[in-house]
Amino acid sequence: MNRFIKHTLALILSISAINTFAQKAESDYGIGLNVNFPMIGLQTSDYSGRGVGGAHIFTTAPMSNLLISKAENKFWQNLNYHLSAGFAMMGIRDRQSDNRYTNTYIDGTASLYLKPFHESSDFKIFAGLRPYYLVSTNTEKLRDGEYVIDNIDSANQNKSGDIGFSGTIGISVALSSIVNLELKYNHSFDNISTSPASIKGRQSIIEVTLSISATGIRDKVNYKDISTFEYLKKLHKGNLMVMLPTVNKAEIDGLINAGKSDQITNLLDELHQANVLVMKAFKNEFDFCPVVFYDDTNAYKVSNKVFGDFFYDADGNSIAIANVNTANFFVASFCEDVSSISHKMDYGLYVYDDKITHLGKPFNTQQNQFNIFAGGDPLNYLRKRLNVLSYEDYSRKVKKLNGRLLRFSSEN
């Protein structure tokens, strides 16, 4: 047991040192909890796997952090290295004698995680190597209805101190900003178990892991601890990013298929005019902080903080990314969203934090929303396009939002 603690601490210190070296943009660290099921039953019918589990600590960061010359390359930004260290227990059962075998390993994993979609980190595929050190092995035999440890068993040829390698492949899916679910297959390169006389080497396994991000927890706690006043003071020195809608391809294809292609130009003109009015309203009525604009075609990039030169000012002039405060911002948009007030889909001016999470008061209130009949026209509600809104309609909402933010940031 002392040897187990010693080796575990050595691996943890190694990972901690690597994590310190990797502290750059998008780096992360945390713990993982897993359950596994050995696949020995596919190799020999005399044995079956037993579900056991383990735990590990990990650190991960983009390869571009290590390859300075590749820092701007999207491929290297999408490719993360992932290092982990921990312990794992694996068990099998002899179907004939009912003997049970349990091995405890210290694991170290080095993997590469690829994001297939640059705009999103919710899904990844990965592959890597998983070296192991066998800390202990034991045999349990059934006696008088109870399992007792009896390591005098010639079938179990594993020995403490054995070292080997396995390869791992799998997929990772983000369940939240804190938890990732991973499904992986670990293929053993040294399993030479034969039935019924010999169990030697580590078995291949199917494993399910929940990875818990310490960075995600820290960000969540820090966000909840900060008061509205402090948050507003912070945003006062940042940027408001206003998302403007564009006509998507499905909408245009729908008009073409319906034989209404002559309406496409009108549709584009109406949306352009609405966006011009929104930009004018923010230019004239919002001075809480500087405002930049971007098209909803770049919404995923903003939500995942993958920024580029796609911002522009209220006059439609391009703004270099160096002039945008991407470290301190919040987002607003005139759109349909589920209101925190009415809990139903309403059209209005909605405000979000830098994680695109719907904010509460004073950012979003009933005053942000339009009536059910936008612009006072019931027919417009049926049209599902708010093209009848005037400059006064937009500016009134922007002015009220600006006033609330200034008032709440000064009254506290």
Q: Which domains does the chain have, with CATH numbers?
A: 2-219 (2.40.160.20), 226-411 (no CATH)
Q: How many residues does the chain have?
A: 412
Among 6-20, 188-202, 284-298, name the one with the lowest average pLDDT: 6-20
Question: Could you tell me which residues are beta bridge partners of residue 35?
Answer: 53, 208
* Residue-wise pLDDT tens digits, 70-116: 545 666 778 889 999 999 999 888 877 788 889 999 999 999 999 88
199: confidence class by pLDDT, cuts 50, 70, 90: confident
Would the pLDDT of 20 be above 60? no
Q: Please state, in angstroms and rounded to a whole number, the distance separating the CA atoms of residues 273 and 271.
A: 5
Q: Please state, in angstroms and rounded to a whole number, the distance separating the CA atoms of residues 348 and 277.
A: 14
Q: Please state, in angstroms and rounded to a whole number, the distance separating the CA atoms of residues 318 and 325.
A: 15
Q: Please state, in angstroms and rounded to a whole number, the distance separating the CA atoms of residues 128 and 150.
A: 36
Largest CA distance in the chain: 87
183: confidence class by pLDDT, cuts 50, 70, 90: very high
Would the pLDDT of 46 be above 70? yes
**Token pair belonging to 79:** 């490719």
Q: Please state, in angstroms and rounded to a whole number, the distance separating the CA atoms of residues 200 and 40.
A: 11
- Alpha helix (H) ranges present in 191-324? 214-225, 228-236, 249-257, 264-285, 299-303
List, as one string, the DSSP characters of 35-90.
EEEE-GGGT-TTEEEE-EEEEEEEEEEEGGGT-GGGTT-HHHHHEEEEEEEEEEEE
Taking the whole predicted model, whether its pTM rises above 0.75 is answered as no
